[in-house]
């Protein structure tokens, strides 16, 4: 019979161990808390939390994956509806292990493993709100720093585009003034030429 590669050995073989973990997880989801040995509780914790993560996804593929491990459809339904909704705002840490002393018969260390279904504490909510507010302020500062730079660039472009227009307007006005002065000068020159001819 093959020996598991790592961790404490719970059953006679790997298949037996998988079935034991699946049955423990089903009992945990059904009763919300179970009493077992410390070793089994420690092995069950990551297994159960992974199934809760699948339940939080809530899609059909995740449901089929959990049904492949836990055969009781009622337990899987409760996991995907009630438990997943209760831990919706919690980022991990869905189970809690509490040691309760040794068993009377064989002196095995015992523990209670339970689902953490309480809402996220007010302190954690305040911390999450503070981090989100700090992130929003940082985003606003970045946007404010980027906005003046963006405003200065169009003003420079407008100034550059206005300068050639102003230059062309000045050139046009100078040409108009020169054109007005030219006929007056020509008119003044013509009488002078006529006077010379008359002499």
State the SS3 of 107-150. CCEEEEEEECCCCCCHHHHHHHHHHHHHHHHHHHHHHHHHHHHH
CB 102 within 8 A of CB 109: yes
Cβ-Cβ contacts under 8 Å for 190 (sequence gap 6 or more): none
Over residues 1-60, the pLDDT tens digits come to 566 566 657 877 888 889 999 999 999 999 999 999 999 999 999 999 999 999 999 999
pTM for the full model?
A: 0.59
pLDDT at residue 142 greater than cutoff 60? yes
Quick one: pLDDT at residue 50?
95
Residues composing the chain: 199
More confident residue, 188 or 22: 22
The model's pLDDT over 151-166, given as tens digits with 9 standing for 90+, comes to 665 555 555 555 555 5
Structural domains of the chain, with CATH: 14-120 (3.90.1030.10)
Please, which residues have CB within 8 angstroms of residue 100's CB and are 6 or more apart in sequence? Answer: 35, 110, 111, 112
Q: How confident is the model at residue 145 (pLDDT cuts 50, 70, 90)?
A: confident
Q: Could you report how far apart the first and last alpha carbons of the chain are, in Å?
A: 142
Model confidence over 73-132: pLDDT tens digits? 999 999 999 999 999 988 889 999 999 999 999 999 999 999 998 887 766 667 777 888
H helix or E strand, kind and range, residue 151? helix 122-198
Residue 85: its pLDDT value, please? 92
Residue of 27, 5, 24 whose CA lies nearest to 14: 5
């Amino acid at each position: 019979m093959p020996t598991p590669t790592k961790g404490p050995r719970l059953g006679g073989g790997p298949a037996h161990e998988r079935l034991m973990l699946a049955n423990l997880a089903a009992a945990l989801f059904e009763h919300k808390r179970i009493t077992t040995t410390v070793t089994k509780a420690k092995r069950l914790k990551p297994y159960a939390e992974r199934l809760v993560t699948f339940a939080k996804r809530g899609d059909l593929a995740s449901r089929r994956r959990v049904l492949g491990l836990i055969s009781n459809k009622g337990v899987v339904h409760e996991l995907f509806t009630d438990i997943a909704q209760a831990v919706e705002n919690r980022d991990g840490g869905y189970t809690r292990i509490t040691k309760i002393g040794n068993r009377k018969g064989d002196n095995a260390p015992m523990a209670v493993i339970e689902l953490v279904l309480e809402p996220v504490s007010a302190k954690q909510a305040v911390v999450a709100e503070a981090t989100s507010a700090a992130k929003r302020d940082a985003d606003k500062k970045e946007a404010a720093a980027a906005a003046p730079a963006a405003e200065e660039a169009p003003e420079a472009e407008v100034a550059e585009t206005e300068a050639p227009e102003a230059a062309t307007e000045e050139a046009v006005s100078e040409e108009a003034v020169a054109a007005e002065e030219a006929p007056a000068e020509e008119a003044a020159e013509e009488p002078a030429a006529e006077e010379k001819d008359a002499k």
